[in-house]
Amino acid sequence: MSAVELEHIVKTYQDGGVTAVKDFSLKVNEGELFGLIGPDGAGKTTIFRILTTLILADSGRASVNGYDVVEDYNEIRKRVGYMPGRFSLYQDLTVAENLHFFATVFKTTIEENYDMIRDIYEQIEPFKDRRAGKLSGGMKQKLALCCALIHKPEVLFLDEPTTGVDAVSRKEFWQMLDQLKKHGITMLVSTPYMDEAVRCDRIALMQQGSILAMDSPEQLVRSFSGKLYQAKSEQKHRLLKDLRKHPQVVDTYSFGEYLHLRTSNDSKEVLEALKQELLVQGHEQLVMEECAPTIEDCFIRLLNQE
């Protein structure tokens, strides 16, 4: 049995005017850390809201740990933890009060499941009498995670947990998720950050309500056929224009301080010829070399194929 299962889910808003998710099918295995990767508007939040029984899909079937999201929504609500994209705890209650409140509504106590949250809660415990609204962004995330975990959920839904959080806290957050895997919790995480994708067991690349590709991050990168080059020169903006104009260049885009590009023919000669041409065009300190593709490169390539 899959921990999370979606079959041909369709969801539209505004009476069919806007399609959020189209014919979406997905299976998440038990104990897996699964990532939904995609830009804003890809339909990630809609998937979460369907799975957490907050909204109904127009058609299709979805289940969590074997419970149907429509028929058995009460069972699901007892068994899942949900951390919405927006901080949704009570800002005017303290850290400890929020945790106590959510433990009680799930008919449990903090003591009973303390081992579940210990590692995370210890970090915010010094502030337990502070109001949640007065916490920093990173600490709010930790508190929200504690509240979502306090009832020992079987499946944890995390909707963009690292959006708007600083780089250090983001890293810490993913370390916490790694720790949680040891408890055997199935996790479905969404993120717009491609660099976070590698922390997942499997990912689905999403765009405009459908899945472009779904596999482990390693496998996705491995399936990137052909060679990828990175290039830079003193005249970065002109370099991009010149490369786009060149008939041998299939695809080029900016990637950090470099430009990434693919050529129609992966041979060394083509690369050398291209390099010479660019030097003639007056590019200084030109660097052009082969590089390893990342998830983002895969995503961009898939988008261009669409």
- Chain residues that interact with other proteins, rule: CB under 8 A: 52-54, 74, 77-78, 80, 82, 84, 86-93, 97, 100-102, 104-107, 147
Q: Which residue lies nearer to other proteins by CB, 153 or 293?
A: 153
E strands, the chain, where? 4-13, 18-28, 33-37, 59-64, 67-68, 80-83, 155-158, 186-191, 202-207, 210-215, 228-232, 249-255, 258-263, 287-291
Q: Minimum CB separation from other proteins for residue 286, in Å?
A: 50
User: What is the Cβ-side half-sphere exposure of residue 20, based on CA atoms within 13 angstroms?
Assistant: 20
Tokens 């990637």 correspond to: 255
Q: Minimum CB separation from other proteins for residue 225, in Å?
A: 42
Q: Minimum CB separation from other proteins for residue 106, in Å?
A: 6
- Residue 120 near residue 148, CB atoms below 8 Å: no
Q: Which residue lies nearer to other proteins by CB, 5 or 159?
A: 159
DSSP string of 77-124, one letter each residue: HHHEEEE-SS--S-TTSBHHHHHHHHHHHTT--TTTTHHHHHHHHHHH
C-alpha 11/C-alpha 26 separation (Å) is 15
Q: Minimum CB separation from other proteins for residue 133, in Å?
A: 10
Nearest CA-CA partner of 164 in 40, 69, 35: 40
Q: Minimum CB separation from other proteins for residue 85, in Å?
A: 9
Q: Which residue lies nearer to other proteins by CB, 48 or 229?
A: 48
Q: Which residue lies nearer to other proteins by CB, 77 or 238?
A: 77
* Amino acid in position 265: N
Q: Minimum CB separation from other proteins for residue 54, in Å?
A: 6
Question: The tokens of 119 are what?
Answer: 């590692």
Q: Which residue lies nearer to other proteins by CB, 78 or 227?
A: 78
Q: Which residue lies nearer to other proteins by CB, 105 or 303?
A: 105
CB within 8 Å of 15: residues ≥ 6 apart: none
Q: Which residue lies nearer to other proteins by CB, 158 or 211?
A: 158
C-beta atoms surrounding 144 within 10 Å: 24
Q: Minimum CB separation from other proteins for residue 34, in Å?
A: 19
